[in-house]
Each structure stands twice: as structure tokens, then as C-alpha cells.
Amino acid sequence: MKILLLDKNHPLITEQLSQNGFALEEDFSSTYDEVSAKISGYDGIIIRSRIPLDANILKHATKLKFIARVGAGMENIDGDFAQKNNIALISSPEGNRDAVAEQVLGMLLVLMNRLFIASEEVKNGIWKREENRGEELLGKTVGLMGYGNMGKAVAKRLSGFGCKVIFYDILPNIGDEFATQVSLEELQNEADIISLHLPITEKTHYIIDENFIKKVRKNFYLVNTARGKNVKTKDLVSAIKSGKIKGAAMDVLEFEKSSFENLEAQNPDLDFLLHSEKVLLTPHIAGWTIESKEKLAQVIVDKILAQFPRP
């Protein structure tokens, strides 16, 4: 089988698949149109986010047996086209769930205890104690939106902090010893902190908007390490200004490029987030650790070999 790699990943992918009889070609520079012109020659494709594999490009992939994404989200692949044409879809959320969970905890601790702000003040000769009084996670109710690999890893980490962890998910009966499944209304009624662990779909696009925020009973903290377009930025900014959202930790932003490489444009709402003391921002790095780079790659290799064993 001939496999095309469109993004740089851990070298173990090339090493292990080559050892198992696959022929691999790396192409990290071709454009969408150039990939479209050559895609017919491959049995498999391994990607991250650089090239969207929509129906227009996949219609040329007449030999394609699988698409493997080194990561969790599959929104840059036309899943309906793949299913209709018997193209297997492979992802590796198991590989970076621990890294995501650790970042969620880290961002919450920094945000709720004003650690970054206090550190910057002290470095500039400012010594404020009462103004930097923080809040504890102990006793808080954390509401997780989505309880897949990422949500479960976060709940497990929170078990040592004395929190009550609840979650909402469209799949029924998936609660465990770390979190209790509730209705969306119950989550909105009880949560002190809401953390997003959702894919981006028609139903989850702007799921956090003015209407959702109004239905949350308490003033709350928001964490988003999922997808930027899960949150309507304009409504987030309004809620922060009003105090309804006490603080936001955002690893992903609505205005990211589809490849996650940078921000697409500047606007007043983004400018507010960039300058607000109540907002902690990182450049889409939840799940982006030294360890997760290797684990993501290994999960992909293992799944490919399981589905397409070589003689």
C-alpha cells in the first residue's frame, strides 16, 4: 500500500509503517490543487490540518482505502463522502487526551488564582496581595460539555481537587466514577466552571452563545480547548464585560485559520480578549506536548496496522 503524508509528524510513523511493508511519500509543501492532481495514486493518506480533504479533492482518490488524522477532530475531512466510498477514517484522540487534561487544569489554576497577572506585577515592582486573592477549585461544580476521550481525562484529573464533576453528552449512560451525566439544563443550573470538549458540527457551532450563557444560573468560568467556533466571541465578550463570565481560558479562538496555524483577522472582539485580565489565551497547544507528539503518532500506526495488516 502506498501512503501519502501531508503534514510533518513524529518520525516513528514513517519508520514503523515502512518496516511493515508500506510505501510512504512525504509531501509537506504541495498546495490543495497539487495534492488533488496526484491523490489518485495512493491507498492511504495521513494528515493533521494543512490540507482539507473535502469531496472535491477526494473524488480524485479512486484507490483510497483510508485517511488517518494525527489528532482528534475530523472536521477537515468530508466524512459523508468517505463513508459512501468505503474510505476508513482513523483518528488518535487517545494520544493527546492526557496533555489536554493537564492544560485544562493548568489554565484553570492560573486563571482562578491570577497567577500570570500576579507574576507580571511582581516582575514590574508591583506588590498586590488583596487584589490577587484567588478562588479554589475545592467545592466547585465543574460542568463538562462532551464526555469523550478529552472530557474523561479532565474528569479524572479533577478527582483529586475535591470538585463535583458533571457532564452533558448526546450519548446516553456514559457516566463513570469520575463524573455524573446530567441534562444540559442541570449543567447550566449547577456549574461554577464550564469546560468544552466537543467536536465542531452544525449543532455545536456557536453552542456557547448569548442564549446559552443566559441560561447558566451562576456567574462562571469558561474553558475552551476544543474548537474556536464552539464559542461566539461577541457573546463571550459581552458576558465577560457584564461579569456573567468571571474569566475565560481559551486555547482555541473563533478567528483561527482552518489549519490552526495563525489568526485570520483582527477585530474589536478579538482585541478585547487579547487585552483583558480576565482572559487567558494560548495558541491551540492543548494536547501539544513532547509526549503527546509521540503518542498521537503511535496510536495512528497501531490503528493502521490493526485495520490493514501486512502479510
Dihedral angle at the C-alpha atoms of 145, 149, 150, 155, nearest 10 degrees?
Answer: 80
Give CA–CA dist 25/22, Å, rounded: 10
Give CA–CA dist 257/267, Å, rounded: 15
Does residue 311 surpass a pLDDT of 70? no
Q: Quick one: pLDDT band at residue 228, thresholds 50, 70, 90? A: very high
Superfamily classification of domain 2-91: NAD(P)-binding Rossmann-like Domain (3.40.50.720)
AA identity, residue 211: N
Q: Quick one: pLDDT band at residue 265, thresholds 50, 70, 90? A: confident
Selection from 308, 286, 290, 218 nearest residue 10 by Cα? 290
| Residue 257 pLDDT | 83
Pick 259 or 236 by higher pLDDT: 236
Q: Do the domains spanning 2-91 and 97-281 agree at the CATH topology level?
A: yes
Does residue 310 surpass a pLDDT of 90? no
Q: Which of 186, 210, 256, 294 is catalytic?
A: 256
Q: Give residue-wise pLDDT tens across range 177-189.
A: 999 999 999 999 9
List the CATH code of the domain at 97-281. 3.40.50.720
- Kindly give the residue spans of alpha helices, DSSP state H, lying in the chain: 12-19, 32-38, 55-58, 79-84, 97-112, 115-123, 149-158, 184-190, 210-215, 233-242, 268-275, 290-307
Q: Which of 227, 264, 294, 310 is catalytic?
A: 227
Is 227 one of the annotated active-site residues of the chain?
Answer: yes
Domain ranges in the chain?
2-91, 97-281
Does residue 112 surpass a pLDDT of 80? yes
DSSP state of 278: T
| Residue 260 pLDDT | 76
Q: Which of 10, 69, 157, 284 is catalytic?
A: 284
What percent of the chain is predicted at pLDDT more than 70?
100
Q: Give residue-wise pLDDT tens across range 67-89.
A: 999 999 899 999 999 999 999 99
Nearest-Å Rg of the Cα atoms of the chain is 21
Is 10 one of the annotated active-site residues of the chain?
Answer: no
Does residue 258 surpass a pLDDT of 90? no
Mean pLDDT score of the chain: 96
CB 110, CB 120: distance < 8 Å: no
DSSP state of 140: P
Return the number of other C-beta atoms located less than 10 Å from residue 300's C-beta.
Answer: 25
